[in-house]
Amino acid sequence: MQYTKLGGSELNVSRICMGCMGFGDAANGQHSWTVDEEKSREIIKRGLELGINFFDTAIAYQSGTSEQYLGRALKDFAKRDDVVVATKFLPRTPEEIESGVTGSQHIENMINTSLKNLGMDHVDLYIYHMWDYNTPLYDIMEGLDKIIREGKAGYIGISNCFAYQLAKANDLAEREGFHKFISVQGHYNLIFREEEREMAKLCREDNIAMTPYSALA
């Protein structure tokens, strides 16, 4: 297995990251094709044996059961300091917006739930899963900075965004003294190559890691 630093961070990650969207309770979430905990554990254990130390999940994956499966497997099969764990948070819900939950409060609630699911006191990388057009960017970056300062996340990343949004977010972070996004997870493969237009160039210039999903289409 080959390893590299993730963008400008100090995280030493395997070049192959295990995406955990296929793990979780098939009766509890968006997908009906996910594998159960027993099969998930087999896959995670084999990945560790092959040198994978980077695992990516999300609170949205089967209502948090992917996080639960991953957390329990890593507790049994690996030392916490030997693995890099990433998870993601969703935008505010209409109900949260209606009740006045701020972007920062929402992020705090999301990370606390994910940490409980994972059985961990921190994640190495916390990812903004999809752009929240109903929440001010300042609130998002402030909330993410707060959880890093609290020790609940080591670094932050972003997913499913446009290059201009990533640039805008990191520019705001630099102006305000917040932590910046160090990675971007986008849809990229030999068939879908939109990321080559602007995102790849931005990431190269700013030393932001690209962690493509659906790499094999």
- Residue located via tokens 């609630």: 109
The two most distant CA atoms of the chain are separated, in Å, by 48
The catalytic residue among 3, 61, 155, 188 is 61
Element (H, E) at 184: strand 181-185
What is residue 177's DSSP assignment?
A: T
Beta strand 123-128 with 84-89 is parallel
β-bridge partners, 89: 128
Burial of 68 (C-beta count, 10 Å sphere; 0-12/13-18/19+)? buried
Query: Does the annotation mark 61 as catalytic?
Result: yes
Instruction: Tell me the one-letter amino acid at 205.
Output: E
Contact 13, 53 (CB under 8 A): yes
Contact 201, 166 (CB under 8 A): no
Contacts of 208 by beta carbon, 8 Å cutoff, 6+ apart:
7, 8, 166, 170, 181, 182, 183, 184, 202
Catalytically annotated residues = 61
